[in-house]
Amino acid sequence: MKIGVLTSGGDAPGMNVAIRAVVRAGANNGHKVYGIYDGYRGLLESNFKLLNHHSVSGILTLGGTVLGTSRVPEFLDHEVRVQAAENLKKKGIEALVVIGGDGTYRGAMELTKLGIKCVGLPGTIDNDIAGTDFTIGFHTAVETIVDAVDKLRDTSTSHQRCSVLEVMGRKCGDLALYAGICGGAEFIWTPENPIDKDKMLKQLTKYKKEGRRHAIVVLTEKQVDPHALAEEISAKSGFSSRATVLGYIQRGGSPCPDDRILASRMGNYAIELLNQGIYGVAVGVRDNRMISMPFNNVVGQERPKNQLYSLVKKVS
Ligand code: F6P
């Protein structure tokens, strides 16, 4: 079988590990695996290249994605997808492994209806995909954020400050949740755990009076303006406060061991599924076991609230 592999949407550490696993497991099973460059744009431009064991040598440790990625709004258009499927068929590519997030899965679900055998791997730092406990890249991003929280605590203590740290995650608070717990944050403000600002300000005022030298607030993006929040904390709590927006640093870096293992397992599993004639599915890890679910059951679905919130103080 000729199989394409692409990465799409926001990049995530471990995408290269997944590409490597798909290429090598594919080749070991007698398939030809084609790298498709720059996500769905590569499908539209027929930007395909046959990959082999050697072409993916040395990429295991690299952050980003060697295939490149993109967000392609035109892909929402049916005619555009028909063209993409045609381009694959012309080349004799009948199956496609896509590595990305929810938007990527939506594209793959539609391509499946057009006769391309698609399998999806969850590649995003946000950990916001239903049907999997973890996404590829999440663990590495958590490490990056924890490192930032540790460093912020150093300087916050020296200056007796409250640091507000905004992290990524879109509608999912897992990055803030995990990093906040690991870094001992005083407040973790996420979509699943919204905080009553006035109550938080009262608690900060109390902490300051008790003689605490620092406080950390970890915040998921788009909940509240972090700079305005820091100004309000400075004005009302007795702590001086500064905001840090961590930004795209979270998406880079060499994948950590957990992400390498996860991406290797998922890449291999994608080929196993195609060998068994299973497609139109997204791969996940559940209780440390590989699973697959139809795209329909994953796309746009909410994840259950993370159990780790039981460790987090409610300030609502
Ligand atoms: O990859 C997911 C994500 O990092 C989100 O957390 C963030 O909101 C978004 O990507 C930013 O994406 P872009 O690269 O389009 O600015």
d(CA 60, CA 264): 10
Number of the ligand 1 atom closest to the C-alpha atom of 71: 15
Closest ligand 1 atom, CA of 250? 4
Are 43 and 84 in contact by the 8 Å Cβ rule? The answer is yes
In this prediction the pTM is 0.97
Average pLDDT value for residue range 263-286: 98
Backbone angles phi, psi at 107, to 5 degrees: -60, -45
Catalytic residue ranges: 126
Residue nearest to atom 16 of ligand 1 (CA): 10
As a whole number, mean pLDDT of residues 290-311 equals: 96
With cut-offs at 50, 70 and 90, classify the pLDDT of residue 313.
Answer: confident
Which residues, judged by CB distance below 6 Å to any ligand atom, belong to the binding site of ligand 1?
A: 10, 71, 124-126, 168-170, 221, 251
The closest residue, in CA terms, to atom 10 on ligand 1 is: 10
Overall average pLDDT of the 75-102 stretch = 97
Q: How far apart are CA 221 and CA 209, in angstroms?
A: 30
In terms of Cβ atoms closer than 10 Å to its own Cβ (0-12, 13-18, 19+), residue 290 is: middle
* Cα(29) to centroid(ligand 1), Å: 35
pLDDT bin (cut points 50, 70, 90) of residue 262 is: very high
Q: What distance in angstroms lies between residue 10's CA and the mean position of ligand 1's atoms?
A: 5
Which ligand 1 atom is the nearest neighbour of the CA of 12? 1
Find out whether 185 and 168 touch, Cβ atoms under 8 Å: no
Average pLDDT over residues 279-287: 98
pLDDT reported for residue 316:
81
Helices (H), the chain: 15-28, 40-44, 78-90, 102-113, 138-159, 174-182, 197-210, 226-236, 257-275
Q: What is the pLDDT of residue 55?
A: 97
pLDDT for 314 equals: 83
CA angle 284, 288, 294 (to 5 degrees): 20
Mean predicted confidence (pLDDT) in 230-234:
98
Per-residue model confidence (pLDDT) at position 169 = 98
Q: What is the pLDDT of residues 11-30, one digit of tens each?
A: 999 999 999 999 999 999 99
What confidence category does residue 256 fall into, taking pLDDT thresholds of 50, 70 and 90? very high
Tell which one of 72, 142, 145, 170 to mutate to probe ligand 1, the residue whose CB is within 8 A of the most ligand atoms.
170
Nearest alpha carbon, ligand 1 atom 11: 10
CA of 299 to the centre of ligand 1 (A): 17
* CA of 169, closest atom in ligand 1: 6
- Mean pLDDT rounded to a whole number for the chain: 97
Ligand 1 centroid to residue 209 C-alpha, Å:
39
- Residue 88, classed as helix, strand or coil, is helix
Checking if the pLDDT of 121 tops 90, the result is yes
